[in-house]
Amino acid sequence: MDRWIGKTAVVTGAASGIGQAITCALLRYGVNVAAIDIMNEKLIELKAEKQKLPGKLETILCDVSCEDELNRAFSEIETKMMGVDIMINNAAYCEYTRVIDSDWKTFQVIMNTNVTAYAACMNKAVNSMYKRNVEGHIFNINSVVGHCIPGKPSKENVDIAFDFNLYVASKHATVALTHTLRREVADIRPYIRITSISPGLVNTSIDLRSEEAHDTFKKLPSLQPEDIADAIIYALGTRQEVQITELTIQHTGEIP
């Protein structure tokens, strides 16, 4: 990890859950972090709590689903932090409703946050790395549901089916997007590595928008956000010539 000291990482959805754990892990290793999130109060708390860690933290209030805000955020990163060396796409949005009960606006929010923003951030990161001729690493926090279609939990005390709207479709899209980008980058810049991280159930706040989903998930065994941060540090720490293309991480005994 020593070669990443003083480099710049961009983490979306950085103020809570997996994003916060990743941000803290990088800061502890001396990596500077541009923490992007839509929750201003959480960003303020993050800034106050992490001031004493070795890495430098810049917090940026930004809705990644909005093109103008994302452009402004990356312009600020280029000016203040001299570009992107590590890009971690983590921000995600989920609706625990059925597609047939939903509407166009909901579809747009899910896909813009979970897919379009990933593509835009990867585009900006690759161009920053290529322009400066540096080693880079891009991570997409995908999901095990991007590799399968989840069914009803098998636990006897859980009696609802999982309704994820377009979330599952969006994660299938970002898994494919990750592999597509890896092929594109291999043609132009071999030392930009692309890694897909696909966690199972993680104890985060993404389910708080639905009380029913939150109560259900509490009954199921889950990973901690720090488990995903550990995977990021592992992949970053490998030699330039080693590319971790896909890491699937689940709680012991969890069935996709």
CA 161 to CA 97: how far, in whole Å? 11
> Could you give the residue ranges of the DSSP H alpha helices within 155-255?
167-188, 211-218, 225-237
Backbone angles phi, psi at 202, to 5 degrees: -120, 140
What whole-number distance in Å separates Cα of residue 73 and Cα of residue 201? 30
| CB-based contacts of 100, cutoff 8 Å, min separation 6 | none
CA distances from 234 to 25, 56, 83, 224 (A): 11, 21, 23, 16
User: What secondary structure letter does DSSP report for 60?
Assistant: E
CB atoms within 10 A of CB 70: 21
Residue among 29, 93, 167, 191 flagged as catalytic = 167
Active-site annotation holds for 234? no
Whole-number Å distance between alpha carbons of 67 and 220 = 36
Residues marked active site are found at: 167
